[in-house]
Amino acid sequence: MRNKIKHPFKFLFSASLCWGMLAVASAQAVTELQDTNPVQLGSEAVRADQRDMFLQAERLIERRQFTQAREKMLQLSDYPLLPYLEVALLEQNFSLANEPVVLEFFNEFTGTPAERQLRTAWLQYLVRRNDGERFLRDYRWQNSTHLQCFYLREKYRALQREIRDGASDGILEPFWNEVSDQWRHGRSLPSACDPVFAAWANAGQRTDQIVWERILLALNERQQGLARYLTRFMDDETRYLADLMRRVHATPNTIRRFQEFPGKDEREREIVLYGLNRIRWTNHNTLVEVWEHFRDRYAFTPAERGQMESDIAVTLALRGDPRAKQWFEGIDPADMSDTARQWYLAAHLNTRNFQAIARFTDRLPPDVASRAQWQYWAARAKAELGHIDRALELMEQAAQQRNYYGFLASARLTLMPSLQHEEPEFHPEALHVLAQQPAAQRAYELRQLSRFMDARREWNHLRSGLTEEERVLPAILASEWGWYDQAIFAFAQSGTLNDVHRRFPLAFSELLTENAQRASIDPAWVFAITRRESSFQVDAVSPAGARGLMQIMPGTAEYLQRGAPGPNPRVNIQNQLFNPEDNVRLGTTYLAELLRRTDDNWLLATAAYNAGIHRMQEWLPEESVAADMWVEMIPFQETRDYVKAVLAYQQIYAMLLGKDVNVLAPMIRMQINGGRRG
């Protein structure tokens, strides 16, 4: 089939684009920027026709009308997505007669998403044929455990043939390592692996330690039945470890039965740590009791000891237990995790102990003390203690940084924040070359067809072949194409953080602004929420099921729809949330409602948008507390980080929208208390 179709891409994408020196003055880059549209000027109408023809060819292949499909494909010889049609056609016509065509495709498109898709389908075809020789020849690592097991089985057979032909048994040693890696899995594996696993075990490779490791993996995957089955493979004298671990997993309080820990095996230490982490959030008193019992009975590493004592301090602080401070004081600030430092701060803010905060910030390592958060709170503490000159010095240092604390410091100093925007340095010709790469062209076309997942796969393939110096280029190119989410992600991954205009695009500007005005809320706030929620990715889906630009939960959407005036036709809410117009309308309506329910306190409404109004209300203190202190004491890290990010983004967007205003200024005198309940 392929030899009858003229194919547009005869040259593979080079792993390193040799574009010479990339760094040039940013001003020159702006003035000399060449056309980065993958569709040549004047050919957009032709490309639109090709998209329609591509979709027609796809439908013909699905209906197995192959002759008509090939006729369409002949007219698409220069269309970037032709490889996807070839894959679809080949998948429905696998045969040994077409093997040369399949292998040619593998060779020409090595590493591309289309090649991986075709290879997986081809391997499955070979499994059905039980064709081990071809399978081994064409196998590359696969996600499918079934294909992995078939590979191991066929490789073992091939090695056995070599041994029968006179090769040394030593050729099995690297193979046994592969089998060990496969066996060390948290879930049951396909029966295709059984013959190889049996040979591996007979060769003495199934050691007590490997069995133990797999039991731990199974319990982490909540596969109690598998863990129970694996226990039989432990040695007689160590089987008690597996039984004990399974009981601790099922009933964490088992860890309080100290007599069941005889100290015969060092792996009891792992069971103790596992059990402590299991009870950490359910019984903090037991956590302290058990750790104090076992702390000196096992040889915990310094890292394990430090982590556990930090975890205990954080847990006690989160529970409001006064013992938290005692545990924190036993840990050197230099050895604390960022989470432990955060909760040390929160614990002392809760009691207004600015003396302790000042001492703590003075003891931080220089690289930590120079962060805006600790400069800000060192300044706040010293101001409370009357050390005004030093407080001003630290606050001015914090105000130089473009983040929540920098903007908050600027508000305290009544200064306008600085965005510190810098254009990245790049060569315009390099950007033009990148835009013409086959993977870039395919990504562009897939995005035009709203096949966002496939477009991202092609984009990631494109980026994987770039050097460190070149990684800013796809960020700039994505921005030029209006592919805002990929631009944002690529800038973050490249470490190029000062291109504020591209990192904080005014995406969907008319849609967001009009809906903000309709809902009588600040457009900069809507931009900030959307930027934080989805990075402007219209098909974003969170692990919890929130969808679209403003990450609306289907239940929230249904609630808002019921309260909307006029008829409410039955629609598929989940799909509706991927429509930008519907999503933003619902999101801004919800923000306006949260504002109403929080007495127009946009700080509380921001927290409620992330955590829910009722949970946010649980965090409101009985006695008034300064707004900046309340933010630090939000018990959920996700919401705490979310609020800080949204407020910082809102400041940036306010300035990008032309407003000379310090968004965080209202926080300076704002007090939060339990009287604000919606």
Active-site pick, 86, 309, 533, 632: 533
Is residue 32 within 8 A of residue 428, CB to CB? The reply is: yes
Residue 167 dihedral angles phi and psi, to the nearest 5°: -70, 155
402 conformational bin, left if phi > 0, alpha if psi -120 to 50, beta if neither: beta
Name the nearest CA neighbour of 502 among 494, 491, 493, 513.
491
Q: 336 CB contacts (<8 Å, ≥6 apart)?
A: 310, 344
Q: Is 533 a catalytic residue?
A: yes
**Which letter, b or e, does each residue of 455-466 get, where b requires 16 or more Cβ atoms within 10 Å of its Cβ?**
bbbbbebbbebb
The DSSP result for 207-251, as a single string, is: -HHHHHHHHHHHHHTT-HHHHHHHHTTS-TTTHHHHHHHHHHHH-
DSSP code for 541: B
Is residue 532 within 8 A of residue 671, CB to CB? The reply is: no
Kindly tell me the burial class for residue 312, based on how many C-beta atoms sit within 10 Å of its own C-beta (0-12, 13-18, 19 or more): buried
Name the nearest CA neighbour of 482 among 537, 412, 531, 522.
537
Name the nearest CA neighbour of 553 among 565, 563, 542, 564.
542
Cα separations in angstroms, 296 against 162, 260, 287, 323, 480: 54, 17, 15, 20, 60
Is residue 497 within 8 A of residue 652, CB to CB? The reply is: no
**Which letter, b or e, does each residue of 134-158 get, where b requires 16 or more Cβ atoms within 10 Å of its Cβ?**
bbeebbeebeebbbbbbbbbbbbee
The DSSP result for 339-358, as a single string, is: HHHHHHHHHHHHTT-HHHHH
Question: Residue ranges of the alpha helices (H) in 413-498?
Answer: 428-435, 438-448, 452-464, 472-480, 484-494
- Residues recognised as catalytic: 533
